[in-house]
Structure 1
Amino acid sequence: MSKRQSATSINLSPEDERRSRMVKYSVAMSIRMVCIVLGVFTQGFLMWIFFGLAIFLPYFAVVLANQQGAPKETTSKAIAPKITIKSDQFKFDD
């Protein structure tokens, strides 16, 4: 039997999820472009830092953009009923 879905447990629509991923990726790639430009116009240690960020940022951008949130569904556990039997209800047959 399938679990009934409530309005509060529905995830984002595919369009909203895609838009969210595209915004995250676009922001990361904008930061990458700034790092490339800064790497061209700086020298020494800062140049290597900016170029290093520009090289490794795409990997982290993809990982961040595709990161799934924690599942919003909560699984309910089955609770066994408690049975109490009084001692005078026991019958022993010999």
Structure 2
Amino acid sequence: MLQLECPWCGPRDEEEFAYGGEAHILRPAEPDAVSDETWGDYLFFRSNAKGLQSEQWCHSHGCRRWFNVARDTVTYRVHAVYRIGEPVPQITTQSRS
């Protein structure tokens, strides 16, 4: 089972959280001025990266706050947890041989 550390409540089992998708997706500054294609890209397309990715999670069965998690999508290893609005932490990963 995946363990996540809520920045406010501490470590908890994955069952207490709700996944919110890829983090750091910027909404178009002027939505009325963008094309349908650009708006569709914003709404539906994500990088779905293999490896390290920043994700949004909500502690839905706890404090109900949203936060970001830097997680490896292959190994499920959590590299960092940080609050929304904080800069993405510098993460160094060791390559596998």
What TM-score comes out, normalization by structure 2 length? 0.27
Larger proportion of helix? 1
Tell me which of the two structures has the higher relative contact order, counting C-alpha pairs closer than 8 angstroms and 6 or more residues apart: 1
What TM-score comes out, normalization by structure 1 length? 0.28
Larger proportion of strand? 2
